Amino acid sequence: MATRQTAGLARLMRAPAIILLLIWMIVPLGMTLYYSFQNYNLLNPAAISWAGWFNYQYFVTDPAFMAAIRNTLVLVLGVLTITVVLGIAIALLIDKPIWGQGIVRILIISPFFVMPPVAALIWKNMIMHPSYGVFADIARFLGLQPVDWFAQYPLTSIVIIVAWQWLPFATLILLTALQSLDGEQMEAAEMDGAGAISRFIHLTLPHMARAITVVILIQTIFLLGIYAEILVTTNGGPGNASTNLTYLIYRAARLNFDIGGAAAGGIIAVILANLVAIFLMRAVGKNLD
């Protein structure tokens, strides 16, 4: 009897969270789906009509779309490569016995807590500015011509900024994984004459594989949604040179007032994100049992 009572109570306790998330998932997505089949522009809101697949066709055949897909891929893959490779290297380094490890960790983790617009503006104005940035100071010191980063290498600049923001996350997760590595096994391998590189490839890397997977998948989810960094630095330009899919949809909705087109873009973004999500759910799901 007590258990039935508890079960009823448990259901009641779960209900608000489930109902809220259910509404949060179904209502906006349903509306996006609905609008994606409508001709609807906020500049002429009275003229709303059925559009069929026109919005999808229009969105996908826009030359900016292919550029945005390419930029999204460059952004995600570029940042993933930098953060995973450097993250492993830094995690290995600070896992060694060093003086001041606590402070080193704090300094390394700090960029993660800087909000995206601040991170981007700091880099844009303090570091990469063609006249007053530190990179320009260094270039002048070396007798070189300062680089106008956001004009000449807009996407690369954004990759650098975003990688700086996410490197701490990768490092921290990989370090956590590294610290659970069996020290005795390592010593045994060392005794057996395994070199540092062979120990890394055969022991450390397999042990970190799961953490690396998690880093890649979680970062991908967030990296697909990069927005503020682009907004405050390049505005997606020059041209479409640094427009990713998120920014393209934002532009359609907020600057072109094209509700139908932005909605179609949104549905495409959901499909892409879901492809990634399926893999993440599998990786996390294994841990639940």
Partner 1 sequence: MARASSRRSRIGYTIAAWAVALTLFFPILYTIITSLKTEQEAISGFSLIPSFTLSSFEAVQTQNNYWKPFTNSVILAVGSTILALIVAIPAAWAMAFSPTKHTKNILMWMLSTKMMPAVAVLVPIYLIFLRTGLMDTRIGLTVMLMLINLPIVVWMLYTYFREIPGEILEAARMDGASLKDEILYVLTPMAIPGIASTMLLNVILAWNEAFWTIQLTTTNAAPLSAFIASFSSPQGLFWAKLSAASVMAIAPILIMGWFSQKQLVRGLTFGAVK
Interacting residues with partner 1 between 240 and 259 (CB under 8 A)? 245-246, 249-250, 253-254, 259
Q: Are 263 and 248 in contact (CB under 8 A)?
A: no
Centroid of chain to Cα 113: 14
Site membership for partner 1, residue 21 (CB under 8 A):
yes
Determine the interface stretch with partner 1 among 149-157, 187-195, 196-204, 226-234 (rule: CB under 8 A). 226-234
Contact flag: residue 110 with partner 1 (CB under 8 A) = yes
> Is residue 29 within the footprint of partner 1 (CB under 8 A)?
yes
**Residue 137 engages partner 1 in binding (rule: CB under 8 A):** yes
Give the number of other Cβ atoms within 10 Å of residue 99's Cβ: 6
- What residue has token string 């949060």? 24
| 73 touches partner 1 (CB under 8 A) | no
The Cα 121–Cα 228 span in angstroms is: 10
Cα–chain center distance at 2: 47
Q: Does residue 85 touch partner 1 according to CB under 8 A?
A: no
Query: According to the binding rule CB under 8 A, does residue 186 interact with partner 1?
Result: no
Neighbours of 277 (CB within 10 A): 14
| Among 158, 173, 203, 216, contact with partner 1 (rule: CB under 8 A) | 173
Among 37, 56, 149, 169, contact with partner 1 (rule: CB under 8 A): 169
For partner 1, the closer of residues 155 and 264 by Cβ is 264
Q: What angle do CA 40, 240, 161 make, to 5 degrees?
A: 115
147, 189, 224, 241: which one contacts partner 1 (CB under 8 A)?
Answer: 224
209 touches partner 1 by CB under 8 A: no
State CA 225 to chain mean position distance: 6
